[in-house]
Amino acid sequence: MKQALLFFPTLLFFCSCENPAAEKSQADSLVETRDAGLRVVSYYSDKSDTSTKTKELRYHKSGDKEEILFSNGKMNGEWKKWTAQGKLKESGNYKDNVEQGPVKFYNTDGVMQQEAVYAGGKKTGLTRSYYPTGELGMEQYAGADGKDTLHVYYHKNGKVNAKAWIRDGREYKSSTWYEDGKLWDEVVDQQFTEWYRNGQMKQQGKVNEMGRKDGVWKYWDEDGKARKDTAWVAGEKKL
């Protein structure tokens, strides 16, 4: 149950005549509420008019702290969340009470680990994840209906490491690249192909829905010479 509102006028009369600027900044009023372990401190330029709220601080039972900016009676502008140790944890923006733009998540060292973009309060199709050292690690693109997604993974040097195309929760195509940008392997509709670094084909064959070799596979040496074919059944080599 919410407790009664407590008002804290911050005007310091004994110094107001000496510092008009300080008097103006300290004329804001604070309103504090507590509910189920959450302490909220709201800042107003006029406590009798709720539309004059300028900022809200939220203190969570876990020790986390949030700061949200307000204008025209609504959440507008940047919001931030810190851990109990004072490390930045999350950040984003509001426009008229809905999330707008990138929402960022940080690790305990303050390095951004994930970024999701919002529009009109809804998550759009782009999400980015980062290595602990800050380099871009993955981008995820989702279609409007959420059924088709593309995952793009990166090496630390910025080159594409892998791509995976997913439809209705099933990966139907994927590609992987060496760090120098040369194609390593590819799976298209369960047809797997792998290449050596020199571009020569290494092996090719079908995989089942579990990604295990199935059927007759062909193999080549690095110089292009064909090797003996091998038959597989659900990942087990046939004798």
Pairing, β 213-219 against β 201-207? antiparallel
With beta carbons less than 8 A apart as the criterion, state whether 12 and 20 touch: no
On the question of pLDDT at 70 being above 80, the answer is: yes
φ, ψ for residue 192 (rounded to 5)? -100, 135
Q: Please give the Cα distance from 117 to 140 (Å, whole number).
A: 11
- pLDDT, tens digit, for every residue of 130-160? 999 889 999 998 876 666 789 999 999 999 9
| Distance from the Cα of residue 192 to its chain's centroid | 31
Q: How many Cβ atoms sit within 10 Å of the Cβ of residue 177? A: 19
Q: Please give the Cα distance from 157 to 57 (Å, whole number).
A: 40
- Position 30 confidence tier, pLDDT thresholds 50, 70, 90: confident
pLDDT at 149: 87
With beta carbons less than 8 A apart as the criterion, state whether 181 and 167 touch: no
With beta carbons less than 8 A apart as the criterion, state whether 94 and 79 touch: yes
On the question of pLDDT at 86 being above 60, the answer is: yes
- Position 25 confidence tier, pLDDT thresholds 50, 70, 90: very low
pLDDT at 17: 37
Report the SS3 class of residue 52. helix
With beta carbons less than 8 A apart as the criterion, state whether 157 and 147 touch: no
Q: Please give the Cα distance from 124 to 146 (Å, whole number).
A: 10
On the question of pLDDT at 3 being above 80, the answer is: no
- pLDDT, tens digit, for every residue of 159-214? 999 999 988 888 889 999 999 999 999 999 899 999 999 999 999 999 998 889 99
pLDDT at 83: 93
Q: Please give the Cα distance from 27 to 153 (Å, whole number).
A: 52
Nearest to 59 by CA among 35, 39, 31: 39
pLDDT at 36: 82
On the question of pLDDT at 87 being above 50, the answer is: yes
pLDDT (mean) for 27-33: 74
